[in-house]
Amino acid sequence: MLLCSNGAIYTGWTTDIDRRLRQHKSGRGANYTKMNSPVELIYWETQKTNQLARKRELALKKMTHQMKINITNGEILKKEQIIDFSRYEFFVSSPGRVNLLGEHVDYNGGPVLPVAIDRSVSLCANQTNNLQFKIRTEDLNQEVLFSLESLVDKNDINHQTLPDWALYPAAVIWAAHKKNLPVFGFEATFTSNIPIGSGLSSSAAIEIAFAALMREIGLWQIDDMELALLCQFAENEYVGVKCGIMDQFACANGVENSALFLDTSNLNWHPVNLPKDVALIITDSKIRRTLSTSAYNERRNSCEEALIILKEYIPNIQFLSEVLPEQFTLIEKFLPSTTRKRAKHVIEECYRVRLAVEFLRNGDINGFGRLMQDGHISLRDFYEVSLPELDLLVELANNFEHCFGSRLTGAGFGGCTISLVKEKNTDNFIKFISNEYFKATGIVSDNYVCKARGGVRVEWRKIN
């Protein structure tokens, strides 16, 4: 949005904001800005494709002048965050994710089927003139200040160890510097309505939010997949969690009303439409886990061991995901018991994801739900990442008449379940689950009816 000399707001779209702004200022941009110059950039936001940018441009042009002013003042964002946005140039919204199928296969080259959800990290920031980073979390009422030098040792500028929450933005800054991307200082504050430790990728959402912010400030020429890969590198090498690419990918690349089929062996992906009359209901067991201190890395090591052994019988494979279920049946006896169970889950889960996409395309939501149920049994019995509370929630959901399928979602060891329920029955489902879970455990669960939303987005506005 450009503020013109006559007080009007001109709206346009471009693939190069600096070039286009120079054109408008020189009178070569549009007849309107040529007649009403000078012009001043007061707001921008990023879209994932030219088509989406044009669509957003048309929507903005239909708004009244006051509605446009409200957007540039940040008033439209009040429902998303609790921060005084008027103090900040940048706003970033980075979604959490829920995984419908394909658990623990992304680090085995397998296909996954996540959804970016409408629960998110809201980040506000200003660029500064130094190479220090001041970051505040509103939810914990904590603040850190560190530099490029201090974050190498995971310390703040006073040589105090960074709190756990600060490791994620610090990791992204460290990774960007490591990859020789331009890094500039900033002050930022963020809040989130993604439950921490629930398996909905709150950490990945934070990473992607800060990476998207730094991409805007530093004018990085990288796309959303490269942004996700940078954040995966940050979490693997700085935080110390050997996660796959799925979480960061979904937070960066979400598509409205769609699941995302991603083949992690080659990073090819495409959206898959979700049924319009089916709700995604996430139920939080309230059992928390810390991924970096869980058995996550142990499971990954078991998969690597299985691959080494299976290569003796199928020499050309690079990933466990390439082994067909019928092949595995013939050679699984050569694996140690625990390793065999881990590999069995991965190989059969990959098959379930590919089949699930066909079910969605054909409108077979009942078949899709059965695959979710099978996936949970596999996570419980073969990968052994479930807990009694998660098993109870899944059993209750699957016993509800209008639920198509339910399973734990995320790495396991606590967190949430995901259930597909007929949209008109969501209230009854939540009431049933909440009452029965409380009777059995004494725990009050949280339930979220979610929609699939787009991936990370960034907005900028001029601060007076």
Could you tell me which residues come within 8 angstroms of residue 455 by beta carbon, excluding any fewer than 6 positions away? 48, 94, 95, 116, 208, 224, 250, 251, 252, 253, 254, 255
**Do the Cβ atoms of 412 and 199 come closer than 8 Å?**
yes
Among candidate residues 397, 389, 380, 375, the one with its CA nearest the CA of residue 103: 375
Tell which residue, 238, 237, 183, 247, has the closest CA to residue 210. 183
Question: Which two structure tokens, joined as six digits, stand for 25?
Answer: 């200022």
Q: What is the pLDDT of residue 85?
A: 67
pLDDT 10s digits, 238-275 = 998 888 899 999 999 999 999 999 999 999 999 999 99
The pLDDT score that the predictor gives to residue 79 is 41
Tell me which residues of the chain have a pLDDT lower than 50. Answer: 76-81, 292
What pLDDT was estimated at residue 193?
A: 86
Instruction: Return the CATH number of the domain spanning residue range 85-260+454-461.
Output: 3.30.230.10
Q: Provide the annotated active-site residues.
A: 247
**Cβ pair 281, 265 in contact under 8 A:** no
58, two tokens: 């048309």
CATH class entry, domain 273-450:
alpha beta
User: What does the domain layout of the chain look like in residue ranges?
Assistant: 2-72, 85-260+454-461, 273-450
Q: Which of 409, 351, 338, 316 is nearest to 96 (CA)?
A: 409
Neighbours of 438 (CB within 10 A): 12
Joined tokens for residue 429: 């489902």
